A and B are shown apart, each in its own frame.
Chain A
Amino acid sequence: MAEPLVRMQGITKRFPDGVLANREANLAVAGGTIHAIVGENGAGKSTLMNILYGFYQPDAGEIYIRGKRVEIPSPRVAKKFGIGMVHQHFMLAPSFTVLQNIILGYEPRRLGILVDRKEARANVQALCERYNLHLPLSTPVRELSVGMQQRVEIVKAIYRGAELLILDEPTAVLTPMEVQELFQICRDMVAQDKTILFISHKLREVLALSDTITVMCKGQTLEPLRSGETNEKQLARIIVGRDQFWEAPGRRALRDRSPLLNVNDLSVRGSQVRLAVKHLTLQVHSGEILGIVGVEGNGQGELMAALAGLAPVAGGRIEFDGREITRMTVRQRRALGVKHIPEDRLTTGLCLEASIAENLVADPRDRSRFMGKRGIINWKAVAEHTDGIIEAYRIVAPDGKTRAKALSGGNLQKVVAARELASNHRCLLVLHPTRGLDIGAAEFIYQRILQSRDAGCAILMVSADLDEIFLISDRIVVMYEGEIVAEFEPEQVTPETVGLYMTGARRQTGDDIDRN
C-alpha cells in the first residue's frame, strides 16, 4: 500500500486534569479519499482532530505527512502542511461579505499595503468554479443560511491551501437537501484530488459518503473499516459496544383530547421589519408531540421564541390551558409549566461559567423550593438535588460544583433537559434536542421527552433532523416562510415528500390541511 497522506501513530493525549482523551490512537488517511471518524461523545475524535490541526500537542506519538515526520505546533503550521478545518461552530465575521471572510488574513496585496480586491475576487471566483461551489461573494455572511455559511468555511479552507479538509460534524446543522449538496461538494473535491476527513454521528451518512471509516472508542482507534464492507447495524454495535437498541414506542391515539396549547393567527417580527411568522395557527394537545420541520430560517425559531416569551408578538393570540399567555413574561409562563429546551444550549440554555447546580436552579419557580425566608438559598439542599439529577441523568461530571463549560455536548444537553423536565412541565418547547449528540445521549433525551409526553405534556419540537421528527412525532407540520404549508401524520408520508414542502416546491391547500 502506498504511503498515506496523513499517518498518526500512537497518539496519546492526557489533559491537565488527568482525563486520557487519546490512548495510542492510530489513523491513516489515504490521499484523494473520504475518511470518516465515528464514535461516542468523549471518544476522543475531536481531540485527535485538534492534534492534527495543531491546536493540541500530543504527549506521545508521531504524525507523518506524505511519509515525512512532522511537528504541528499550531494551526498556522497545519495550514502550511495543507491541513484545513471546518469547525462545528463557524468562525466567520457575520457583518463581513463572503469574499472578505474568505480572504481575511490572506489578502492579495497591492503596493504592499492595499488589498487587491479585484485579484482576490478573481481568485476566489476561480476556486468556486473549480469545485462547483456557488457563493454570493458580495453578500454579508449573516444573511446566508447555515448551509451556505458552511460552504464559505470550506472555500476559506481551500483558499488557504488546504489539501486535507477536516470537517467536524458537518451535517449536524443541515437540511436533507443541504446534506446532499454537501456530499456532492465533497465528491467533487475528492475528484480533484483533495482529501476529506470528517467526524459524524450519523451512520447512514457516513456509509453513504466515506470510503474508509475509523471507529474511536474510549480514546482508542479500532481497525479501519471499508464502507462497502459494513452496514449501519454493525457499525452501531461496534460504537456503542452493545447489541440491544432502543426503539421509539408507537404513537397513541389522541383524537378526542382537547388542545392544551392554542396558537391563533400569531405573527412575529424577524430581525428585519418583515414578519418571520405570518398569521400562524396551530394546536398542540396534551400527550402529543407536534414536530415542526422546515429549512432553517423559515420562522421556526421566532415562533418558539414567541411561545416561550422571549420575542414580542406582533399580532394574534397564544392560549395555554385556557388562559391567554400572549403578553406574559417568561417567568409567568414558566410558572404555568411552559418549559423550553432552546436551540443554542451554549449561550441560551446554559450559563457555561456557572456550576451545574447553579444551572439547574435557574428557573425562579424551581429555585423557590430551595429558598428560606429572606431569599436565602439553601445551597446544601441544591447540592443534594444536583447529585440526584447527576445520577438520574447519568451526567458525567465530578460533582455539582463543576462548571458547565467543563462538560461535553451530550452532558450539557442533559443538564438543560434535567432542568426543564425536573418540575411541573405541561408544555415543552424543544428545538433540535439531539443536535451534536451521540447515539447514547440522544436515546436518553428521546426517552425523557417521550416520558413527558406519556405524562400528558404538550410538546412542540423543531428539528432539522427528519429522522428525529419521524422517530418521535405524533403529527408533523411543515413551515415555509413563516407559514404552515402542510400537515401530516408520520405514517402517511415519506421524508422525501416532506422535503418538497420544506423547500416551497409544494403546498397543501386549505382543504388538504383540514382533511388531515
Chain B
Amino acid sequence: MTSIGIEVNKAATSSWFAILRALAVIGGVVLANLALGAVIILLIGSSPLVAFRALLAYSIGDAVTITTVRIRAAPLVLSGLAVAVAFTAGMYNLGGEGQIYLGAFAAAWVGFSFAALPSALHLPLALFAAMVAGALGAWIPGWMRTRYNVDEVISTLLLNYVYILFTGYLATYPFRDPDRWSGTTPQIYQSAYLPTIWTRTGLNAGILIAIAAAGVIYLVLRYTDIGYRWKITGLNARFARYAGLEVSRDQLRAMMWSGAIAGLAGGLLVAGSQYRFWAQIGAGIGWDGILIGLLAANHPLAVLLAGIAFSAVRTGSLGMEQASSVPSELTNVLLALLILLVTGRQFVLLALNRARASVE
C-alpha cells in the first residue's frame, strides 16, 4: 500500500507526453514491421530494398500519389477517430465498416435524389445524412449494451454484415443505376461534390474535415463536461456510477457519436472520390480504423497522424507491386504482422500492469 504511494507519476497526465509516447510506439511498431516484412520478401526471393523503395516512392512520392494518399487518408482518419471516441467511453465499436456503408449510402441517396439544391446546402445535407445513418447504425448495439448488457464487441462486429448486405441490397434493387452494373447507385449531383482545394492534384476538402474532426474531438475530450464524463467512464465505470454519472446514457451517446463519425467517413468516400454508392465502397476502411485507433492509443491527434501514415502504406503497396515482383497482398501480410505487433504491445503493457498491481 505505501509502496505504490511513493511512485509519483505526473508526467503521464501531460498530453504532450502522451502524444510523444504514441508516436514512439508507432515508430517502433512500424520499424519492427518493416524488418519482419523484409525477411518475408527475402523468403519469396525478391529484394526488400527494391520493394521498399517502391513502397516509399508510391506512398509519399509525387503530387499525384499525395492526392491518392490523402483521398484515402480522410476516411481512414475518421474511421480511427470513431474507434477512439467509443473507446474513450469504455465502448468497443468494431462496427465502423458497416456504419461507413450506411453513411456512404445515405450521402449518396441525398446526393442523387435532390437535383436543384445549391452546393452550400446539398453537400452539408449529404454529410449530415451520412452522420445520422452511422449514428443510428451504432445506436442499435449501444442500446442493446446499455439496456440488456449485450456485449457490444459481438453485436457491432456482426451488425457489419447486416449493414453491408442491407446497403448492397438497396443499391442492387430499389436504387440501382439501370445504366451501370449491378450494385451501383446513380451518380450524385455535382452540388454534393466535395470542393477541390488543390487543383493540380485534385486534393479535396475531405482532409480538412478530418483534421477539423480530430481537433474538435481532442478539444471536446480535454475541455468539456461530456469529454470528462466519457474519460472517467472509460477509465472506471464503477467509479463513474458511484460519483453520480449517468454511465449508460453517456456510453450510448459515445457510441452514437462514434457511429456518426464512421458514417461521415462513408459520406466523404461518396462526396470526395466515388460520387456514387457501390457495393464494395468501404474497402476495409472500417477495419483499418480499428488498427489506427490501436496504433494511436486512441489519442485523437495521434489518430490523425497514424491515419495518414496508414493510407500511405496502403497506396504504396500498389506501387510496390508494379515496381517489383512483390505482390500487393504482401501489404496484407505486413498489416497482419502489424496487428500482431500492436496487440503484442498491449499484451506486454497488460502484463506489466498486472505485475504492478500485484505489488499493491
Contacts and interface: CB of A to CB of B under 8 A. Distances in A.
A435 to B, nearest CB: 11
A423 B101 CA distance: 49
B225 A348 contact: no
- 10 closest Cβ pairs, A-B complex: A408-B5, A362-B243, A331-B244, A375-B225, A46-B3, A46-B2, A330-B244, A351-B236, A19-B6, A17-B8
A47 B2 contact: yes
A371 B224 CA distance: 8
Contacts, number: 143
B116 interface: no
A177 interface: no
Interface residues of A, number: 65
24 contacts: A15-B7, A17-B9, A44-B2, A47-B6, A50-B359, A55-B359, A310-B242, A329-B244, A331-B244, A347-B236, A347-B238, A351-B239, A353-B236, A362-B243, A367-B228, A376-B225, A377-B224, A377-B228, A398-B8, A398-B10, A399-B10, A406-B10, A411-B5, A436-B1
Interface string B198-212: 000000000000000
A364 interface: yes
A405 B353 CA distance: 12
A96 interface: no
A185 to B, nearest CB: 22
Contact of B238 (A348, A361, A376): A348
Interface in A361-378: 361-365, 367, 371, 374-377
A350 interface: yes
Contacts of A397: 8
Given A87-B358, A91-B358, A363-B243, 9 more contacts: A44-B2, A88-B1, A329-B244, A331-B245, A347-B236, A351-B235, A399-B10, A402-B8, A405-B4
Given A91-B358, A367-B225, A403-B12, A348 B242 contact: yes
Nearest to A332: B244
Contact of B8 (A19, A169, A330, A355): A19
Contacts of B236: 347, 351-354
A254 B2 CA distance: 40
B7 A406 contact: yes
A342 interface: yes
Given A46-B3, A89-B360, A308 B8 contact: no
B77 to A, nearest CB: 25
B172 to A, nearest CB: 44
Interface in B212-256: 223-226, 228, 231-232, 235-236, 238-246
B226 to A, nearest CB: 6
Nearest to A40: B2
Interface of A: 15-17, 19, 21, 41-47, 50, 55-56, 87-89, 91, 168-169, 308, 310, 329-331, 333-334, 340, 342, 347-355, 358, 361-365, 367, 371, 374-377, 379, 397-399, 401-403, 405-409, 411, 436
B149 interface: no
A108 B147 CA distance: 47
A406 B244 contact: no
Contact of A376 (B4, B10, B224, B232): B224
* A interface, over-half SS: loop
B225 A21 contact: no
Interface of B: 1-10, 12-14, 223-226, 228, 231-232, 235-236, 238-246, 358-360
A87 B2 CA distance: 12
Contact of B3 (A47, A352, A361): A47
B289 to A, nearest CB: 24
A372 to B, nearest CB: 10
Contacts of B243: 330, 334, 362-364
A358 B241 CA distance: 15
A340 B241 CA distance: 12
Given A354-B231, A364-B244, A379-B223, A43 B2 contact: yes
Contacts of A377: 223-225, 228
B3 A50 contact: yes
Nearest to B235: A353
B7 A329 contact: no
A384 to B, nearest CB: 16
Given A330-B241, A348-B239, A17 B7 contact: yes
B228 A358 contact: yes
B82 to A, nearest CB: 21
B43 to A, nearest CB: 36
A12 to B, nearest CB: 14
A371 B228 CA distance: 12
Contacts of A340: 242
B2 A350 contact: no
Contacts of B359: 50, 55
Contact of A45 (B2, B231, B245): B2
Contacts of B10: 398-399, 401-403, 406
B147 to A, nearest CB: 15
Contacts of A43: 2
Nearest to A172: B1
Contacts of B223: 376-377, 379
Contacts of B228: 358, 361, 367, 377
A354 B358 CA distance: 20
A439 B321 CA distance: 72
B245 A362 contact: yes
Nearest to A344: B238
A308 B236 CA distance: 18
A88 B10 CA distance: 26
B230 to A, nearest CB: 12
A52 B225 CA distance: 46
Contacts of A355: 13
| Max chain A Cβ within 10 angstroms of own Cβ: one of B2, B244, B359 | B2
A398 to B, nearest CB: 6
Nearest to B4: A405
Contacts of A87: 358
A329 B246 contact: yes
Given A331-B244, A377-B223, A403 B9 contact: yes
A169 B1 CA distance: 10
Nearest to B234: A353
B244 A334 contact: yes
Contacts of B224: 374-377
A448 to B, nearest CB: 19
A403 B13 contact: yes
A44 B4 CA distance: 11
Contacts of A46: 1-3
